[in-house]
Each structure stands twice: as C-alpha cells, then as structure tokens.
Structure 1
C-alpha cells in the first residue's frame, strides 16, 4: 500500500479520487451527485454515518422557501423523495418538505448508483500541499490516521476546516465577532396533528396559512400575537418553563411520519461564538435541558400533545454561521439590495437577510419581491491561496449579513451543481479551479434551470 509522510509518520493512502468532497452535508452530497453525473471519480468524506449534514443530523426540515427554479441535482433529490412516498410540496408555500431518514437514504443512493464512494465515520484532520495545490487530506478513521489522494477538493465542511488548514483567510461573525444563534432541534411523536390544527385555527391564528392538512406549522414569538403565547406564559408562571424557553418556538410536521413534528428550537441563550469548541459543548448541555422542559410542557398545556413524547434529539447542533472564507469575490448585502448580476453568476438566491441574533440587536430585514433574485459569482467559491479547491455551503465568501440569506438549503444545492461542473471541467481541461472563468458555467446552468 502506498503511503505519504505526515509529521514524520508514514500514513497509508487508502483511497483516491478525481474529486474529493470533505463533508457530506447539503452542499457536499449535492456536489458529489453533480460531479458523478459529469463522469469523474468522486469520493465523499463524512464524519457521521449519514449524509445530509444540517438537514438530517441537525433535523433542519423543511427547506426554506424560494421562488428560484432549482438546478438538476435539486430536482433529482426531490424526484427520488417522491419515489420513496415522501410528499415535498404542501400546495401553498414554496418550501420543500422531507423527513430526515428518507433524505439521508436518498442522498446515499443517488451517489452510490452513480458509482460514487462514501467514507463514513472519517474525521478530517489536515491536508498536505505541494505549493498551492492540495495533494492529500488526512482523516481519522476506526483504523487510525489515513490519507486520501485527490486531484480536486471540495470544502463542504460548513466550518471551513479544509480551507483553514490549507491556509485560506477566513472571517467569522459580525463586526463585534458575534455569530448567529445556535439551535438544538428535536422531534416529538404521538401528536394528534388533527386536534392540534383544529385548536390553532379555532383561535384565529394567522401565522399558518398552509391549506394541505398533511402539512402544518406552529410558532410562538413573544409580542407577535401568536395563539400559543398565553399558554407559554402560563407555563412560565407555573414554573414549567423558564424565561429563555419563550424566546423562540417553532415546529413543523414531517411527511411520512403522521404523528411527528420537528422543532426549530430551542435557541440557546448566551452562546455568541460558535467557533469555540468549549462553548459548543456548553450549548449541547444547555439545549438538552431546554428540550426536556419543552417536551414536558407541551403535553400539559397544548391540545393535541396530550399523549406526545420526546422522540429524538438532533445529533448535531444547528449552527447557522461560523467561519466564512475570503475568496476572490466577497458577496455583500449591497449585492443583495442591488439584485446583483455577474458574468460568472452560477447560482441565485432570494431568501431574506435572516439574522438570528444572540444579542437581540435590531437588524432591518431586507427582502426581495417574488421573482427577484441576486446571483452568486463563481469567484465567491474559489480562493487565491489554493488552486485546486472549491468551497460550497454557508461558508463561501460573503459578509456576515449576506451569509444570512445565501445559507439556505436550496441555494446551497444550486452552488453545489456548479461546483460539480467546475471539478469536472478542471480535470478535463487541465486548468486549476481558481483559474477557471466562471462565465463558462453560467449559460449551461441557465439552460438546465430552464428545463425544470
């Protein structure tokens, strides 16, 4: 077996690929599918044993709504969910619904069927470079350290771990260095969705406007006039809840799970640095306490939850923002307002600037009208420092505020389509990823989008 030197040790090279994807989350899995459809040997390195990242391991469903027409990979995923009897369209909103177990399975199958490879339970450790090129990455496996050899590399790690170890400049947080709010999601089962829906709508709740009875959403934010606020206040007065439990509450039904809802809460208070491993651990402990309070409160106070129980907790924190690379172009909130267009615009976004702030700072929400969008340039996915790496996910090159728009899952999937194209083009044309003129992809991607 071939080996590579790593800090004086000979590390076995266990796999090689044309395209090595670090991270099997929303961006990584979609990039792999796109690259495989271009006919290049592709390997996904995933630290857990399921694909989907934040979508599946952090229980983040459904996908937030967008009026932008998705790319081919996005449609492949949705079509396969339908084949698995998972309805994704609620008939009212433009959300894409799923349940996490089915999505993880679908992503895995789409990769394996196309001849792709997945290395599960492999934690990224470091990379080996030859001048500006990454030649190998080092991962920690059940058998110890191992090396992966590649021609192109995709940083889909969400925390920019490949980029940072490769020497790429990064930024984090707002002007004060504070990151967005962490969530710790959970699911409850045994819910009588029909009774819950009837109760909510009987109180003239205007928040949920979904007409399809199979899809339902509840929420409570203090001062917003939500039906559930009075029940939460009673829970607080009776000592069943703490003040911090009332800050944000939201839950969605799960297609394919008739009595289950996924909760987009709690928001963990007081943790304003998501890049600190000690604070992340504290967030898990704090979040678990809050989950238990909510899971005990709901059956006592909310109709429809009478026989409900805690089904599972997320196996990954809901991190909205940590590191962002400083790439060849930094996308800003000014580009959002200007509905920016670029010669190398390879993806489109239209989600509002959605900042979940720890400090409750007042941030004016910029929103685009239906049909409006901004473009994400290819240059925001590539760096000056590393020639054969491309970045996909919430950590592409942008400002703190702009990241709060582009981080949603449909937008990340469309970035991934372009990244898969780019890795194939780089190999077949023998040109570095960070030297490619992204305008090569814009027309092709627009043509694909028009066919859906």
Structure 2
C-alpha cells in the first residue's frame, strides 16, 4: 500500500479516486451517484455509519415540496424506494416521503451497485494541497490516521469543513452573527394514528390537508389557531411542560413504519450559534431533556398517543445553517425576488425563504406561484482559491436569507448532481473545476434556457 508523509508519519493511502466526496449526506450521496453514473472512480468519506446525513441521522423527513422537474438522481432514489415498498407520493402535496432506514439502505445500494466505495466511520482531519490543488484528505479511522487521494473533491460536509481546511473564506449567520434554530428530532412508536387523525379532524383542525391517512402531519405553533395548543397550555399549567416546549411542535408519519411518527422538534432555546462545538453539545443535552418531557406529556394528554413510547432519538442535530463558502458568485435574496436566471444555472429552487429564527427578527414571506423559480449558478459551487474543489449542500455560496430557501433536500440533491457531473467533465477534459464553464454542465443536465 502506498503511503503519504504527514508530519513525520507515513500514513496509508486507503483509496485513490477520480472523485472524493467528503460527506455522505443528502448532497454527498447524490453527488457520488451522479459521479458514478458518469463513470468516475468515486469514494465517499462519511463520519457516521449510514448515508443520508440530515435526512437519515437527524430524522428530517419528508422532503419539503418542490414543483421543479425531478432530476435523474432524484428519480433513481425515488424509484428504488418504491422497490422497497416505500410510497413517496402522498397524492396531494409535492413532498417526497421516506423513512430513514430505507433511504439509508437505498443510497448505499445505489452507490455500491455502480462500483463506488464508502469509507464509514472516518472523520476528516486535514487536507494536503499542492499550490491551488487538493491532493489528499487526511482522515481518522479505526486504524488511526490515513489518507485518501483524489483528482477532484466535493465538499458535501454541510459545515464547509473541507473548504475551510483548504483556506476558502466563509460566512456564517445573519448580520448579527446568529444562525438558524437547531432542532433535535425523535421518533415515537405505538401511536394510534387513525384515532389521532379522527380526533383532530373532529375538532376542526385544518392543518393537515392530505386525504391519504398514511401521510399525516400534526403541528402546534402558539397563536396559529392549532387545536393542540389548548392541550399544550394545560400541560404547561400542570407543570408537565415548560414554556420552551411550546415554541414549535410538528410531526410526520413514516411510510412503511406503522404507528410511527417523526417529530420536527424540539427547537432548542438559547443557542444562537451553530458553529460552536461547545454550544452544539449543550444543545444535545438540552434537547434530550425536552424530548423526554414531550414523550411523557403526549400519552397523558393527546388522544391516539395513549400507548405511544419513545423509540429513537436522532443521532445528529438538525442544523439548518452554519458556514457558507464565499464562492465566485454569492446568491442573494435579490436573486430570489427577481427569479434570477443564469447562463450557468445548474439547479432551480422554489421554496420560500424559510428562516427558523433564534431571535425576534421577522422575515417577510415571499412565496412563488407554482412554476416560478430562481436558478442557482454553477459559480456558487466553486471558488477562486482551489481549482479542483466544488461544494454541494446547504453551504454553497449564498447569503443567510437565500440559504434559507435553497437548503431544502430536493434542491440540495439537484445541486449535488451538477457537482458530480462537473467532476466527470473536469477529469475527462483536464479542465479545472473553478475554470469550467457552468453553461456546459447546465446543458448536460438538460436545463433549457427560459426567458421571463
């Protein structure tokens, strides 16, 4: 086995690949599939032991709705989920539903079948550069330190970890330095979902408009007229809940998992920065306390939850926003409002600017009509500093507000597919990723030019 000298130590080079994907989450898995579909030798370096990232480890399901045409990688994933008897279409909304275990398995299958390699339980420690080019990742594994060599690299770490190690400038948070709200999701089993649904409908709850009872959503936000608010207030009066438990409550059924719901809460109070290792650790402790209050409260107060119990806590926090690279183009909320088009627009977004704020700031909601969208330029994925690095995920080059729109899973997958295709074009044609004309990738993706 070849080795690499690193501070006086000879590290084994575990893989040599055309494309090295740092992070196997929503973006990383999709980028790897796209790269493999293009015939590149591809390896994914993943810190956990499952693919899917926020989707699977943070239990973030379903995918929020988009009316954009489904990309090839997205179609591959949805088709494979259907083979696992997972129904993704609720028949009413444009959400894409899944359960976390099935999705993680499907992503792994799609990569393995195409000859890709996955290095699990591997944390990125550093990168080696020669001039403006990354040559190796330094990783920590069960064997100790090791290296992975690559021709192109995709930063799909969500926290822009590889980009920051490579010296790429980054931004974080809003003008006051505050990041979006952290959630700590969990699942409960033993729920009588039909009884819960019937109860809420009998009380006139209009929140869930999906006719298919297999796809059910509940929510409680104070002051929004939700039926459940009075029950939460009663729990607060009785001392079973604290005021912080009423900030945000939401849950979704899990296709293929009868009697199970995934909870998009609690929102962790008092954590204004998601880029601090200490604060993230405190968020876990605080969130776990809140989860256990909620899972004791629900069986005692809400019909349908009488026999329910906590079955799973997320193994990863729900981080909506942390670092963002400063790329060749910074996508802004102005681009959102004007429904921007770009010659190198490699993906389209139509989700609203969805800020889960930790402060009292209010963001005016400007929502598109069906069929309206903005484009994400290829230049928001690349930087001036590193020639063979491309970003894919929530950390691409954008402002705080714009990131709140483009961060949803289907958009992230589309961006990732473009990154994988770009790596293939770069390797085959000897063109640096940060010098590649993104209009070529747009054309290869089949995204037609449209004028408003």
TM-score by length of 2: 0.99
Displacement after TM superposition at 1:161 (Å): 0.4
Match of 1:434 in 2: 434
Residues 52-451 of structure 1: matches in 2 within 5 Å?
52-446=52-446
Q: Are the counterparts in 2 of residues 200 and 227 from structure 1 also a CA contact under 8 Å?
A: yes
Contiguous gaps of at least 5 residues in structure 1: none
Over residues 364-408 of structure 1, what are the superposed CA-to-partner deviations in whole Å (9 max), with x where a residue is unaligned? 122111110000000000001100000000000000000000000
Q: Aligned with 1:112: secondary structure? A: helix
Mean Cα displacement is larger for which, 290-299 or 357-366? Answer: 357-366
Q: Are the counterparts in 2 of residues 392 and 415 from structure 1 also a CA contact under 8 Å?
A: yes
Q: Aligned with 2:167: secondary structure? A: coil
Q: Aligned with 1:257: secondary structure? A: coil
Inter-partner Cα distance in structure 2 for 1:337 and 1:356: 19
Over residues 253-285 of structure 1, what are the superposed CA-to-partner deviations in whole Å (9 max), with x where a residue is unaligned? 000011000000000000001000000000000
Aligned residue pair count: 450
Q: Aligned with 1:364: secondary structure? A: coil
Over residues 301-353 of structure 1, what are the superposed CA-to-partner deviations in whole Å (9 max), with x where a residue is unaligned? 00000000000100000000000000000000000000000000000000000
Inter-partner Cα distance in structure 1 for 2:403 and 2:336: 10
Displacement after TM superposition at 1:423 (Å): 0.3
Q: Aligned with 1:385: secondary structure? A: coil
Inter-partner Cα distance in structure 1 for 2:81 and 2:2: 40
Displacement after TM superposition at 1:8 (Å): 2.5
Q: Are the counterparts in 2 of residues 72 and 448 from structure 1 also a CA contact under 8 Å?
A: no
Q: Are the counterparts in 1 of residues 23 and 156 from structure 2 also a CA contact under 8 Å?
A: yes
Match of 1:8 in 2: 8
Inter-partner Cα distance in structure 1 for 2:271 and 2:440: 42
Q: Aligned with 2:151: secondary structure? A: strand
Q: Aligned with 1:187: secondary structure? A: strand
Inter-partner Cα distance in structure 2 for 1:443 and 1:211: 39
Displacement after TM superposition at 1:448 (Å): 9.7
Q: Are the counterparts in 2 of residues 62 and 98 from structure 1 also a CA contact under 8 Å?
A: yes
Q: Are the counterparts in 2 of residues 97 and 255 from structure 1 also a CA contact under 8 Å?
A: yes
Q: Are the counterparts in 2 of residues 426 and 432 from structure 1 also a CA contact under 8 Å?
A: yes
Displacement after TM superposition at 1:447 (Å): 5.6
Inter-partner Cα distance in structure 1 for 2:364 and 2:58: 27
Following superposition, which runs of at least 4 residues in structure 1 exceed 4 angstroms of deviation? none
Provide the aligned C-alpha RMSD in A.
1.1
Displacement after TM superposition at 1:162 (Å): 0.2
Q: Are the counterparts in 1 of residues 346 and 447 from structure 2 also a CA contact under 8 Å?
A: no
Q: Aligned with 2:296: secondary structure? A: helix
Contiguous gaps of at least 5 residues in structure 2: none
